[in-house]
Amino acid sequence: MLGKRSQKPRTVAQRTLKGPIACTGTGLHSGRKVEMLLLPAAPNHGIVFRRRDIPGESGVLKADFRNVRDTRMCSMLANEAGTTRIGTVEHLMAALYGAEIDNLIIELDADEVPVMDGSAAPFLFLVDCAGTIEQAAPRRAIEVLETVSVEDGEAFIEVAPGRGFAAEFEIDFKNAAIGRQVIRMGLEPGAFRREIARARTFGFEHEVASLRAMGLARGGSLDNAVVVSGERILNEDGLRFEDEFVRHKVLDLVGDFYLAGAPILGDVRAAKTGHRHNNALLHALLARPQAWRWAEVTAETYSDAPAGARLGHASD
């Protein structure tokens, strides 16, 4: 008797929202009130920002790593002329990765995505409230075929071939409230939601005045950031995770990487890096055609990625 044929894994379809949904918040760096509207988009449309306060095509910016023009304290998209800008896109982009949204129009009436509580969780809640639908097009991912790395002093980041999406991230601050933290985990969308999405952005009280003088952090507060003063956490409710600081760095990485236009399939290792390094790695990877290829996402794409989160310590 002939054996059964092995079945090809089911291809995952692209997704968008069932219908529009809006929210209002504050820009982390501008301090201005921002209204944001999320709208469904057609298959293969991708994720696109649209400034309602700038008429016509001049106000449209694709969520693309090549449009990142500034990486001080956030990832800011801008056109070549610099006349249309949209800042702090990384938390929303991370949430869209976690929600597996491929096609979306994001309308804003200002030059910054609202910070909400400083994490990706409110954006995931927004998407879940709107609901999502499958579309008549296969979901694609960027599969890493060769190891690519970026070094910058003590900062280092690389992405290597690997099944699914996984990351090892290390931070090391002289501040005793943070210290050295390491996390290793698989980053399939469900794990991102459980382990990373609620981690908030953070800053230091002694840096607030200088940042605001630079036009940054004008909307920052204890409502939307973890604030460290000396060895103390100023937020009354404390931390959401013991290692919330390194988890938020992973959140930023996920959001910055989703600006590649599709999920990344590979193993990431990073130490002491930020938005600039995340963007530099995408440029280095996607500039090498032999280092990656398009791959259809299937029901088994993330099945072999490391599960859950495993913490490291200074002795690792």
Region 141-312: CATH code: 3.30.1700.10
Q: What is the pLDDT of residue 73?
A: 87
List of the chain residues with pLDDT < 50: 1-5, 312-316
pLDDT at 103: 98
Q: Half-sphere exposure of 177 toward its Cβ, with a 13 Å CA cutoff?
A: 18
Can you give the pLDDT at residue 220? 79
The structural domains of the chain, with segments of one domain joined by +, span: 13-138, 141-312
- What tokens does 15 get? 């997704």
Q: Which of 83, 14, 21, 16 is nearest to 53 (CA)?
A: 83
What ranges in the chain are assigned the alpha helix state H? Answer: 90-98, 121-130, 189-195, 208-213, 244-257, 275-286
Active site residues: 275
pLDDT in tens, 279-290: 999 999 999 999
**Residues 308/195, Cβ–Cβ less than 8 Å:** yes
- Measured CA distances, 207 to 75, 227, 245, 247 (Å): 19, 10, 17, 21
The pLDDT assigned to 283 comes to 98
For the domain made up of 13-138, give the CATH fold: Ribosomal Protein S5; domain 2 (3.30.230)
Say what the pLDDT of residue 314 is: 39
Residues 71 and 47 sit within 8 Å (Cβ to Cβ): no
pLDDT digits (tens, 9 = 90+) for 294-310: 999 998 888 765 555 55
pTM of the model: 0.93
Which pLDDT score, from 0 to 100, does residue 6 have? 54
Number of other CB atoms surrounding residue 236 within 10 Å: 6
